[in-house]
Amino acid sequence: MRIDKFLNAVNLTKRRAVSEDMCKSGVVSINEVVCKPAKELKIGDIITLKFLNGEKKYEVLDFPTTKNTPKSDQTKYVKEV
């Protein structure tokens, strides 16, 4: 699954356009490598999101089968590291 679609599907970003812009500006990295929006994810990858006040790391556990998932189901797909 593409990184921009994944971030939106598991509610780490509000819209796919936001996650796409984050990738293009170098804020998102997979396994410590800055990625483009079309980068394919694998289970076990570590996603790093850099913010002004720090960074958050998430491990990919599974991929959602639907376009959007409830916020309560977020822990099925990502785990904060």
Cα separation, 9 vs 55, in Å, equals 20
Taking only the tens place, the pLDDT of each residue in 27-65 is: 999 999 999 999 999 999 999 999 899 999 999 999 998
pTM of this structure: 0.91
User: Are 3 and 28 a contacting pair, CB within 8 Å?
Assistant: yes
Position 67 pLDDT exceeds 90: no
Position 71 pLDDT exceeds 90: no
Give the tokens for residue 36.
């483009």
Q: How many Cα atoms occupy the beta-carbon half-sphere of 10 within 13 Å?
A: 22
Q: Looking at residue 37, what is its pLDDT?
A: 93
Closest CA to 57 of 81, 22, 23, 33: 81
Tell me how many domains the chain contains. 1
CATH number at residue 72: 3.10.290.10
Domain that residue 39 falls in: 3-80
